Amino acid sequence: MQIEEVLLIKEQDCLYGINTNEVEQILRVQDLTPMAMTPKAIRGLCSIEGSIISVLDFSFLLDGDHDLVNTDAFKARQITVGSDNHHFSLLVSEVINSVEVNQEMMEYVQDQDDVIVALLKHEEDIIQIISIDRLIKEISLPSYVSKDVRDISSDSDTNEISSHLKRYLFFVMGEEQYALEVDAIREIISLPPSFTSIAESNKEILGMISLREDLLVVADLRIHYDFLTHDSDKNRIIVSQYNGKHIGLLVDEIVDIQDVEMSRIEGMPENFKDKKINGVLNMDDRLISIVNTEVIRDLVAEQAHLIGEKGKEETKVESTDPINLEVVVFKMGNEEFAFNIDDVSEIIDITEITPVADSVDHIKGVINIRGQVISIASLYAILQLSEDEDLDQQIIVTEVNGNRVGFVVDKVNDVRGIYDSELRADEEEGRLFSNILQLEGGKRLVMMFDTTKLFASLELGSEEVA
């Protein structure tokens, strides 16, 4: 069987490759529980997505005389390996990236007992391709099966795992992360200098602000959820909507926007008393509470005397000047730019970027997100802007036609809807922008990227696009 793609691993100063068809995830080293009376190659057990699996030491499997993988090393990783024959995690010293196999550069080994099944010539390196089956053939892996405590009489259809995705905005209140469906959000804005107070309002109501000539009631969601408030320049207002009516929700900090598999969403029991939460997201290393959209409904209802008529008024306005699209607005240097939110896969804080040898100038390197290697490009280099790497930068991961590329930016400012009246086409040929956004009555101009043209300008090879 031909190998089409391999994951590159650096161990003992040599490069090895594993067929990516057998690789499920690439993770930072998890908490390991040592097990007595097991082979030295088994470093212990760990829990990944609710399953208990054995963790094997790749360095020891290659050569028992070499040192074990240092689990405290910054570049150490765990690779979850799965097939019909086995399911375990492999502890390695460093993961480089994944590469497509050029069969002309591949020489298969005929020895059926050799752990090395092929040699791949890649650039200036020789990569030794490993057979996982042969690597662990002498290891007896313990098996751990979780008990199913669900009612076996329940409809089998409800037990099927859905592969659909739902997009959430992640934010912080207190020391905890929460999630809100993006469909319930119109935009995200910074705090104004002050609020216009509202007499005899609830304690969480901060007041009203003017937003593009409309009045917006703002509630402190932290107070509503009984958190202590913390004033910071990271505070943001989420402009949320319910049945066409809008209210602002003040939170401590916006974390990112991310597509979540439906199978990761767990509902709350019917008798769960706190109706402010309607589920949790199981995100591997943490559980994130989902804000119940009924909270928005209740806040809107409580302020109906202030926003009820305004909701009707906005409906009329939007019928003549509808929201054309939603965008993610971000800052680089002293300028603002935007991506269509449909082209944005997620937004994350800056992380270590691994340089790629012999890449073009505007490619900064690659990162690993939940086991997927993603190329990181520099908009600063493309637009010839100066970059201040001392800032707490963010990465916007975009996706076009199945290809994913991340872009480092200074910070994400807004996620907002754009009205027809705020949209102007950029008709200048040869540019990377599709539209000019005229925000705040034309006082704020934002250039919106045409991601298709942007991707084409990157001139990424097949090995550089995830």
Within 10 angstroms of residue 98's Cβ, the number of other Cβ atoms is 21
d(C-alpha 243, C-alpha 245), whole Å = 6
In a domain, 158, yes or no: no
Least Cα distance to 299 among 191, 387, 175, 184 occurs for 184
Q: Residues 283, 367: one domain?
A: no
How many residues are listed for the chain in this entry? 466
In a domain, 154, yes or no: no
User: Does 17 or 166 have the greater pLDDT score?
Assistant: 17
pLDDT of residue 312: 43
Q: Residues 183, 107: one domain?
A: no
d(C-alpha 446, C-alpha 14), whole Å = 48
Q: Is pLDDT above 60 for 374?
A: yes
Q: Residues 328, 316: one domain?
A: no
In a domain, 87, yes or no: yes
Q: Residues 106, 192: one domain?
A: no
In a domain, 156, yes or no: no
User: By three-state DSSP, how is residue 310 classified?
Assistant: helix
Q: Residues 212, 170: one domain?
A: yes
User: Domain tally for the chain?
Assistant: 3
Q: Residues 85, 74: one domain?
A: yes
Q: Residue 81 corresponds to which tokens in the numbers above? A: 């390996």
Least Cα distance to 258 among 149, 346, 389 occurs for 346
d(C-alpha 221, C-alpha 218), whole Å = 9
* Domain-terminating residue out of 264, 289, 320: 320
Q: Express each pLDDT in 265-284 by its tens digit.
A: 877 655 454 578 878 888 76
Q: Residues 297, 349: one domain?
A: no
Q: Residues 22, 75: one domain?
A: yes
Please tell me the pTM assigned to this model.
0.46
Q: Which CATH number does the domain housing residue 260 bear?
A: 2.40.50.180
In a domain, 117, yes or no: yes
pLDDT of residue 408: 93
User: Does 76 or 427 have the greater pLDDT score?
Assistant: 76
- Domain of 367? 323-458
Q: Residues 74, 128: one domain?
A: yes
Out of 123-137, 215-229, 285-299, least confident range: 285-299
Q: Residues 357, 255: one domain?
A: no
Q: Residues 383, 406: one domain?
A: yes
Q: Residues 236, 328: one domain?
A: no
Q: Express each pLDDT in 423-455 by its tens digit.
A: 888 766 667 888 888 887 777 888 999 998 898
